[in-house]
Structure 1
Amino acid sequence: MGPNQAPLFPIRILKISLWFTVFFYLFFLIFNTSFTIMGVDVGDFLKQYLGAFFGVYLSTTFKVFSISLFLHLTLFSLVSLTYHFLIRREVSWYVLSFWVLFIECLALCHSMVSFPQIYGEFFFFRYPSFASFLYFLTDHTSPSYFSLVLGLILFGFFILLLRQIYLHKTKESFFALLHVLVLGLVHTSGFYLVGIFYFAILFWQGKQYQRIHVKTYGLLILFLGFLYLVPNVWNQMSALTHSKENCKPPIFILSADSLRYDKIGFKIGGKSITPNIDSFSKESFVFHDHHTTIPRTFPSWADLLTGQYSMSHKVRDMFPSLEEKQRIGSASFPTIQQMLKGIGYRSYAVGSFAADIFPRANFGFDEVLAPNFNARIMTVQRTAESQLFLLPFLTGSWFSGGMYLEEMDGLSTWGDGSRILDRFRSITKREGDAPYSVTYFSSVIHFPYTPAYPYYKSFTNPDYYGKYKYLKFVDPTNSAVPTDWETNQIRGLFDSAVYAFDAEFGEILSELKARGIYDEAIIILTADHGEALYEDVHGQGHGEHLRGEAVTHVPLFIKFPKSKVETKTEHEFFGITSSVDIYPTLMEFFGISTKSKFPGKSLLPVLGKSNWEEERSVYAETGIWFSDTGDHFFQKQRIPYPNILSLHQVVPEEDYQIMITDPIYRETIAFSKHRSLQNSNYKLIYIPTRQGVVFELYDRKKDPLNRKNLYPHHPEAAKMKNLLYQTVIQWEDATLAGEYLIPSSLSEINEN
């Protein structure tokens, strides 16, 4: 065959792919566009945002469309290549389209069974009449069925390609192999623009493949094969370049968003839903009465990693202003990671959607492998989610994809832990024996409770068919209590998510043991907050109130290096502890001196003991209220301020971050917070209202759901009230106006 041969990929493939992409992109854009995020309608917010930053929307559209075009070019070129090898003649456009559509439907079914939560809004809000199809898929199939068919198609193609090379050894066959390797490399790396550029050259210079020497093809194929190995080679090289200090143990702070203490060892049908954590508890120190300082993710982590209360560092909600965020990691509020860096540690953060807090402040990590969150990313997600045929590729459920859009990492409905486990393994391989720390934060338990297949079936009712079949949609304005059947399903989803995280945790421990670093590692397992699940009048969620044990009571397990701290016979501690205790504990362990005073206490002195020698109390406060409507009990006993969409501002200068920038709103949020002080026996809650300050005192042991208010007649009432005021005045520099606590920032405004 001479140089004037027709191109192996004629221009008609480009035209068919382009028309196919345009048709389905517009089809899904029209019939599958949503402006709902976790139950909150953000339509008006996005319209305002897009009006001001329309260029961002155009770039987002271009990005999503380009990925779709590359994937369709890939599929059409491979199907066309198959027919070329089989029958050596041109095939009609509708035959090619049928096969591409068939492959995409198989991939979609695979994705829907693997992650049905991603498609929840489509089936339960926009087109509920189609929900029976999703029920059928998840009830009667598994992802392996569709993987098998897709695998056979791909295997058949490779056999055909290898046969062509073996029998003919022509430049055409070598060019086809080179084409497949290029597409595979682009698919696994997600460099879709490189892929489109490659196709542009292919269609422009497609006739020139006969001019390339066979030896050149061989070298190119070897080079591409090497590129597939680059990540592993890079990890090995990185491990060799890092310093090795065996005297410094690796540190792993492992956490799951919303993991409740009472779910550890919780049994269903006689079996624990946390078998891996149960085993770990026997080798670690267990702190049974451990509490978070604030049941919202961002401020909770800020408290844990700085060792200071949110009322001190001022990050008190999920959307802090620039001035507030800059205090984290400053000289006044250094983080654990910054202090460890001073003794030679590198620090990493790894996490799924709720870990979007880590890139948004200076926590001191050397590398953050977690999603970000801003209005631009939210726009990408909304646009991509509308494209049903694209989602299997974007979520990686189709042959190791998932790298096309990093923004998809922030999907709250994508609870697959395997992707962050892979990142964790990459770090441990890369670091080797060097001193390093990893903060691992799983979001699978956070609402809407989205464990992947098969975990979402673990403890749910197989006979339940309704909107909570696969996830718990969230509507902060809805105070209606679900039926008992629905409540049991929601709790089953939560328990299934806990079980899924336990499996993640087990994988992490297996990795550490396989690498021989488990025994000498510091491993801390905890949570940023708990979760209310319709106990009494508590509703569902976290951060809105402080009643009961569910939202602040979280697990804490610490395993120290065996050579330095022996796990004693008495390894269970029942005294009350706080998330701000972790910072001073690590500082004392490593002998790092600190200039600041901390509200927490080092836990090293109580290892091997069962309780404090003196009575201890810990502090907590509520987060921000997302909605200003609803019939919840906490809505009736709060100082009102606008809903969260009215509070927000998009700040283009900060990469379109969503912040609460109005100082009056920030002051109101701080002033309106409910606060609590609790010891091992009692909890006092401070509730500012427009009518005055309300106090509630509960017996934690006799009344864990906090139904009977003992204030003001109980002997503990006055003592705990005074101690609460002392704590807030000390750590917030607050003042009193009657019984109201006035935050320090408000005091400064008043004084000026």
Structure 2
Amino acid sequence: MGPNQAPLFPIRIFKISFYHSVFFYLFFLLFNTSFTIMGVDVGDFLKQYLGAFFGVYLSTTVKVFSVSLFLHTTLFTLVHLIFSFLNKQKISWYVLVGSVLGIEFLALSESMIRFPQIYGEFFFFRYPSFAPLLYFLTDHIPPILPSMVLILALGILFGLLFRQTYLYKTKESFFAILHVLVLGFLHIHGLYFFGLVYFAFILWQGKRYQNVHIKTYGLGFVFLLFLYLIPSIWTSISSFRYSKQLGKPPIYILSADSLRYDKIGYQINGSSITPNIDLFKRDAFQFHDHHTTIPRTFPSWTDTLTGKYAMDHKVRDMFPSPEEKQRIGSSSFPTIQQFLNKIGYENYAIGSFAADIFPRANFGFDSVFAPNFNARIMTVQRTAETQIMVLPFLVGSWFSGGMYLEELDGLSTWGDGKRLINRFRSLVKEKKDSPYTITYFSSVIHFPYTPSYPYYKRYTNSDYYGKYKYLKFVDPTDANLPNQEEISQIRSLFDSAVYAFDQEFGEMIGYLKDQGIYEDAIIILTADHGEALYEDIHGQGHGEHLRGESVTHVPFMIKFPNSSKFQEARESEREFFGITSSVDLVPTFLDYFKIPYPSEYPGKSLLGVLKEKDWKEDRFVYAETGIWFSDVGNHFFQKQRIPYPNILSLHQVVPEEDYQIMITDPIYRETIAFSKHRSIQNSNYKLIYIPTREGVKFELYDRKKDPLNQTNLYPNHPMAAKMKDVLYKTVVKWESASVAGEYLIPSSLSDINENL
């Protein structure tokens, strides 16, 4: 040991930590790397991507390894600190490694019990022989048990630390206290880079800590405590900048991906799966026949927030080109947030993985607390997911972790609403009842249906031990129908996810009430689209077809401020049964705040029908399908479509757009638009337009008598000709489409000349 080597942190500890990190990083990279995402083979895509952007992959590897190295070094120094205080200086390397592995196994166990979906691919696709371990943990061990053992270990550390300081009051013990506090602060905030710099400093300083005055350690201790309190202090100070303004209530758009209308108040064993939403309904206006315009997240939210159809603003799929994206928020397609910003509102978005659409375009939010989505982020996620021993620390299973890699916010399998609720509370605490909006978008109901503990057990069959025990893997190329036991399990997972969102919703509403904001707020509950769950031949998912009620029929409720004239309506006067559309939200807001319409909108303000039961006229609403991800399969909609290549062939990674995944070829974009199924429906009937190579097919269904859309009434029903005429006029008007025979020919984006 050198003359300046600190006895608490000898260099051998850092060497052991480094070797440990390298070994396990390479081990899991070699044996836990998969070329599938939820069962879909993306090997060709990854080979193309890694060849073209190898530098990005290399930086990703360095990033993930750096996090792993910081975490392992933290654990090794803490374990060695405990042995040092027990007067056991010469601990063999295998005892240290065994202790760290024990801690990691406890953290992994807690994480697998709380979020088994995150480990689904490992246990069901890569190493299914290990699945019984996951079953045992989730069936018999509550997550509090491994957590308590970890807390006990930390308790021993702190107990020994304070005992050492109290008895001896040496500079060494004061330095150890600061060391633990620094590591805790770096861990909570995910500052792994600064952590590695800090460890380098520890190695460099050796015994120099003995030259520091004890009072300086006291100042350092106070300074660190201040750093811990800064977020809370800053929020409290910042809140003084905001105040209530008459006529400008806070606005909360609370939504969940894939939330079906018929799940609101749905009963299982005599109890509703949405008890908190049921209570909210008593204070809100409920629109019972509300429909999304397109059952895919990106275009659906764009329709909702601009008030214009996807066929008009051209964002018609999840992978819009730069030319299409720049139309959002332009002078031709302003958003609700931009309108409200002009009258003094600040706008915020909070969401989990499906909310990755919000950072990708100019929706008018001042801040977006949601993950992004691009090829670089996907690479970070796939690399981090291989490191199964480190993953628990990255998703918060180790005492407030979860901020190391912001890319993991976009994991589709991480259905934990607590992190979103914390962000919601922090914003509300700061902004209070000033003019601001929060668009909250939960993804827990989106496939693969991933509610965390204990919600994934809520309605599922505890005796089921198949690949859908914790989540529903999605493979768009697989048209095989699960058996009845599997379908029951999948539906139960979905219902459990709905219940989990309802709990999130209840926490938000409860917090608004506790803060005295609820009474004077505008609160909206809705969804971007619904979900098919193997009804008839409809399959599972959304955006593929327009049959049935499940994919477009979503909840829509509005609660106005108690001071508003609208809220004076009795509970019996707050139910509207006429058909409404997601494009109605913008006209409703413009009407409420008396903002002049900048252009014509396809939707209608709903203020005029409050206290009514239905429209006075026969209203029609429009919808269209999303992009088909796969070009194979035996689904009915695959047999009724204009074929084009699958998504892995269509898209491009665009480095100039932060490596976003886009469909940039104008020919493909026009083919996708031309191939879409379209529908027009009123309160009683739905007409579906289906272009095929053999000609255009039409399906007409009675929505009330035939909600599953099994009996085609076209062309003999009296409504057939009228609805076909309405559909064609709607598309020609809003898309500037032309008609060739019975085919609707979409306008090309390159042909549209307007000042954006």
| Contact 1:283–1:567 (Cα < 8 Å) also in 2 | no
Structure 2 counterpart of 1:665? 668
Structure 2: distance between partners of 1:39 and 1:431: 43
Which range is displaced more, 30-39 or 423-432? 30-39
Which range is displaced more, 85-94 or 61-70? 85-94
Structure 2: distance between partners of 1:245 and 1:566: 19
Structure 1: distance between partners of 2:422 and 2:37: 27
Matched, 1:625 2:621: no
| Contact 2:676–2:691 (Cα < 8 Å) also in 1 | yes
Cα 1:155/1:747, change in 2 over 3 Å: closer
Structure 1 counterpart of 2:567? 566
Matched, 1:113 2:113: yes
Structure 2: distance between partners of 1:269 and 1:100: 45
Structure 2 counterpart of 1:636? 639
Structure 1: distance between partners of 2:6 and 2:640: 77
Cα-to-partner distance string for 1:195-214 (whole Å, 9 max, x where unaligned): 00000010111211100000
AA partner of residue 700 (structure 2): L
Structure 2: distance between partners of 1:358 and 1:38: 24
| Contact 1:246–1:434 (Cα < 8 Å) also in 2 | no
Matched, 1:608 2:611: yes
| Contact 1:328–1:334 (Cα < 8 Å) also in 2 | yes
Structure 1: distance between partners of 2:504 and 2:720: 43
Cα-to-partner distance string for 1:660-713 (whole Å, 9 max, x where unaligned): 000000000000000000000000000000000000000000000000000000
Once the 2 structures are TM-superposed, how far is the Cα of residue 244 of structure 1 from its aligned partner? 3.9
Cα-to-partner distance string for 1:565-601 (whole Å, 9 max, x where unaligned): 2252211000000000011101111111121110000
Note the 1:392-541 alignment, pairs <5 A. Answer: 392-541=392-541
Structure 2 counterpart of 1:297? 297
Structure 2: distance between partners of 1:547 and 1:503: 30
Matched, 1:198 2:198: yes
Structure 2: distance between partners of 1:199 and 1:607: 63
Cα-to-partner distance string for 1:414-446 (whole Å, 9 max, x where unaligned): 000001111111111111232100000000000
Structure 1: distance between partners of 2:691 and 2:95: 69
- Normalising by structure 1, report the TM-score: 0.98
Matched, 1:170 2:170: yes
Structure 2 counterpart of 1:215? 215
Match of 1:596 among 575, 599, 610: 599
| Contact 2:181–2:224 (Cα < 8 Å) also in 1 | yes
Structure 1: distance between partners of 2:104 and 2:678: 52
Cα-to-partner distance string for 1:258-311 (whole Å, 9 max, x where unaligned): 000000000000000000000000110000000000000000000000000000
Cα-to-partner distance string for 1:339-360 (whole Å, 9 max, x where unaligned): 0000000000000000000000
Once the 2 structures are TM-superposed, how far is the Cα of residue 231 of structure 1 from its aligned partner? 0.5
Match of 1:578 among 562, 577, 581: 581
Structure 1: distance between partners of 2:444 and 2:244: 34
Structure 2: distance between partners of 1:733 and 1:626: 26
| Contact 2:66–2:192 (Cα < 8 Å) also in 1 | yes
Cα 1:6/1:563, change in 2 over 3 Å: closer
Structure 1: distance between partners of 2:291 and 2:487: 25
Cα-to-partner distance string for 1:728-747 (whole Å, 9 max, x where unaligned): 11111111000000111189
Cα-to-partner distance string for 1:158-207 (whole Å, 9 max, x where unaligned): 11111111111111110000000000000001110000000001011121
Structure 2: distance between partners of 1:747 and 1:148: 62
Cα-to-partner distance string for 1:221-274 (whole Å, 9 max, x where unaligned): 100000000111111122112354243100000110000000000000000000
Once the 2 structures are TM-superposed, how far is the Cα of residue 89 of structure 1 from its aligned partner? 1.9
AA partner of residue 433 (structure 1): D
Structure 1: distance between partners of 2:41 and 2:527: 29
Structure 2: distance between partners of 1:174 and 1:629: 66
Once the 2 structures are TM-superposed, how far is the Cα of residue 88 of structure 1 from its aligned partner? 4.5
| Contact 1:3–1:208 (Cα < 8 Å) also in 2 | no
| Contact 2:274–2:502 (Cα < 8 Å) also in 1 | yes
Structure 2 counterpart of 1:385? 385
Once the 2 structures are TM-superposed, how far is the Cα of residue 40 of structure 1 from its aligned partner? 2.1
Cα 1:15/1:566, change in 2 over 3 Å: same
Structure 1: distance between partners of 2:623 and 2:70: 51
Unaligned runs of 5+ in 1: none
Matched, 1:68 2:71: no
Q: Percent identity?
A: 74
| Contact 2:260–2:530 (Cα < 8 Å) also in 1 | yes
Structure 2: distance between partners of 1:259 and 1:234: 36
| Contact 1:190–1:404 (Cα < 8 Å) also in 2 | yes
AA partner of residue 335 (structure 1): T
Structure 2: distance between partners of 1:524 and 1:678: 24
| Contact 2:5–2:203 (Cα < 8 Å) also in 1 | no
SS in 2 for 1:631: coil
Matched, 1:332 2:332: yes
Cα-to-partner distance string for 1:46-69 (whole Å, 9 max, x where unaligned): 110110110100100000000000
| Contact 1:360–1:372 (Cα < 8 Å) also in 2 | yes
AA partner of residue 340 (structure 1): L
SS in 2 for 1:398: coil
AA partner of residue 322 (structure 2): L
Structure 2: distance between partners of 1:225 and 1:246: 39
Structure 1: distance between partners of 2:410 and 2:182: 28
AA partner of residue 421 (structure 2): L
Structure 1 counterpart of 2:155? 155
Once the 2 structures are TM-superposed, how far is the Cα of residue 620 of structure 1 from its aligned partner? 0.2
| Contact 2:29–2:387 (Cα < 8 Å) also in 1 | yes
Structure 1 counterpart of 2:21? 21
Note the 1:254-293 alignment, pairs <5 A. Answer: 254-293=254-293
Structure 1: distance between partners of 2:750 and 2:695: 19
| Contact 1:349–1:365 (Cα < 8 Å) also in 2 | yes
| Contact 1:735–1:747 (Cα < 8 Å) also in 2 | no
SS in 2 for 1:87: coil
Structure 1 counterpart of 2:650? 647
AA partner of residue 724 (structure 2): K
Which range is displaced more, 326-335 or 239-248? 239-248
Unaligned runs of 5+ in 2: none
Structure 1: distance between partners of 2:527 and 2:544: 17
SS in 1 for 2:86: helix
Note the 1:674-685 alignment, pairs <5 A. Answer: 674-685=677-688
SS in 2 for 1:744: coil
| Contact 2:291–2:582 (Cα < 8 Å) also in 1 | yes
| Contact 1:8–1:206 (Cα < 8 Å) also in 2 | no
Matched, 1:707 2:710: yes
Cα 1:272/1:567, change in 2 over 3 Å: farther
SS in 2 for 1:519: helix
Which range is displaced more, 694-703 or 160-169? 160-169
Structure 2: distance between partners of 1:5 and 1:734: 77
Structure 1 counterpart of 2:12? 12
AA partner of residue 606 (structure 1): V
